Amino acid sequence: MTTAEIAAKLDAHDPLAPARDRFLLPAGTVYLDGNSLGALPAKVARTVGHTITKQWGEDLITSWFRGGWLRLPLTVGDRIGRLLGAGPGQTVVGDTTSVQLFNALIAAARLRPGRRVLLMDAGGFPTDRYLAASAARLLGLELREAPMDRFAEAVRAAGDQLAVATASAVDFRTGELWDLAGLTRATHDAGGVVVWDLSHATGAVPLALDRDGIDFAVGCSYKFLSGGPGAPAYGYVARRHHDRLDHPLTGWHGHADPFAMEPSYRPADGIARYRSGTPHILSLVALDAALDAFCDVEPEQIRAKSLSLSAFFIDCVDEHLAGRGFDVVTPREPQRRGSQVTLRHKDAEELMATLIERGFIGDVRPPNLLRFGLNALYVSHADVLATVRELHALT
């Protein structure tokens, strides 16, 4: 079979093919950058429009109660929680990923007073590293960094001084998927608390936060969840920590009775205390509508399609781009892949700029990496083959 015949056969038997109609994709564009900004779900504009014209325009301030605005951070949180393998009442939506991560790092460290080490993934996303350094300075902790292939070793080396270990579930450059359950167990064996950044995993990789004993997790909602540019992030806190949770940003929406206007902070019960300030309603409504794309789709279906797309991408690179200066950076072992394929090429920036001009959208990361995000809900095997053929034509 030719690669074209293989692509046609795989797409013809794709159970997720109907989901593509739930997104508004520009004609003539192959969009492989959903790991940076997801495509626009068809329901979003209509839903946000209703919120603006009816709830805000007509119902005005009463929409905080009649329209359910006040509870959106919790109700949308539970919808994301389903994709995280988290039971209800453990996920809240609001603020940015940076704010959520800062809150999680501080709150996690406060669960382990007297311990002095905060361990960070040495290859983590820059914001995560900046925030970990800031949290360490504020709390007087020693910040240590370790590459992910030696992270468990670093956890054991920290021993009874380990307060918090934090890392990304998927490497943002290479798309490598790490062992969340195993590294969480290692952290717990040392007596520490773990904080995972799931930004490149949520909506693409099946997760089991409750089953795997994850303590804290954060993630953005504008990548594989397609919540829109700057969509609010989420924070997960395992139920077992709720009663002891000492949230650093004690805003009025995390108060037990926000409208009592009490002079002193009294935390709400459960995950509600993890809220801070007034939520961004229009962004939350957009995210809520975007999540409808997942309503009848199981994470395992998404994973199966994602792995098929990435395996086919790598096969196409091997067949069509051999000898043209490309190296596959993403692991070839399926269990080690997230939902992207990264290629190395000395002319990465120039190649991607030309690809985008021709309607094939991915992105680059320094110094020489081309990234292609594979959202299983709207990317096809034909899209993958067309992209690789275009790279062949350019080199």
Q: Is 305 a catalytic residue?
A: no
Instruction: Verify that 137 and 285 share a domain, yes or no.
Output: yes
Instruction: Verify that 235 and 103 share a domain, yes or no.
Output: yes
Instruction: Verify that 103 and 229 share a domain, yes or no.
Output: yes
- 40 found inside a domain: no
- 42 found inside a domain: no
Q: Is 222 a catalytic residue?
A: yes
Q: What is the pLDDT of residue 279?
A: 95
Whether 1 shows a pLDDT value over 90: the answer reads no
Instruction: Verify that 249 and 278 share a domain, yes or no.
Output: yes
- 377 found inside a domain: yes
- 38 found inside a domain: no
Domain boundary among 236, 271, 294: 294
Q: What is the pLDDT of residues 335-366, one digit of tens each?
A: 999 999 999 999 999 999 999 999 999 999 99
**Per-residue pLDDT band at 224 (split at 50, 70, 90):** very high
Q: Is 371 a catalytic residue?
A: yes
Q: What is the pLDDT of residues 59-92, one digit of tens each?
A: 999 999 999 999 999 999 999 999 999 999 999 9
- 78 found inside a domain: yes
Q: What is the pLDDT of residues 3-23, one digit of tens each?
A: 999 999 999 999 999 999 999
Domain boundary among 243, 275, 294: 294
Instruction: Verify that 227 and 248 share a domain, yes or no.
Output: yes
Instruction: Verify that 382 and 334 share a domain, yes or no.
Output: yes
What does the mean pLDDT of the chain come to?
97
**Cβ–Cβ < 8 Å for 193, 163:** yes
| Annotated active-site residue in 197, 215, 288, 383 | 197
Instruction: Verify that 280 and 150 share a domain, yes or no.
Output: yes
Q: How many domains does the chain have?
A: 2
- 164 found inside a domain: yes
Whether 253 shows a pLDDT value over 90: the answer reads yes
Q: What is the pLDDT of residues 273-325, one digit of tens each?
A: 999 999 999 999 999 999 999 999 999 999 999 999 999 999 999 999 999 99
Question: Is 0.75 topped by the overall pTM?
Answer: yes
Instruction: Verify that 362 and 234 share a domain, yes or no.
Output: no
- What DSSP designation does 255 have? B
- 37 found inside a domain: no
Domain that holds residue 131: 47-294
- In this structure, what CATH number is given to the domain that contains residue 366? 3.90.1150.10
Domain boundary among 270, 294, 318: 294
**Cβ–Cβ < 8 Å for 300, 207:** no
For 121-140, give the DSSP string. ETTS-HHHHHHHHHHHHHHT
Instruction: Verify that 328 and 272 share a domain, yes or no.
Output: no
Instruction: Verify that 309 and 217 share a domain, yes or no.
Output: no
Query: Which residues, listed in sequence order, are joined to residue 371 by a DSSP beta bridge?
Result: 342, 363
Q: Is 95 a catalytic residue?
A: no
Rounded to whole angstroms, the Cα distance separating 387 from 359 reads 9
Binding residues for pyridoxal 5'-phosphate: 97-98, 125-128, 197, 200, 222, 252, 278
Q: Is 313 a catalytic residue?
A: no
Which helix (H) or strand (E) element contains residue 30?
strand 30-31
Binding residues: 97-98, 125-128, 197, 200, 222, 252, 278
Range 197-216 average pLDDT: 98
- In this structure, what CATH number is given to the domain that contains residue 232? 3.40.640.10
Instruction: Verify that 284 and 351 share a domain, yes or no.
Output: no
Token couple for 105: 């790092």
Q: What is the pLDDT of residues 181-200, one digit of tens each?
A: 999 999 999 999 999 999 99
- 286 found inside a domain: yes
Instruction: Verify that 302 and 277 share a domain, yes or no.
Output: no
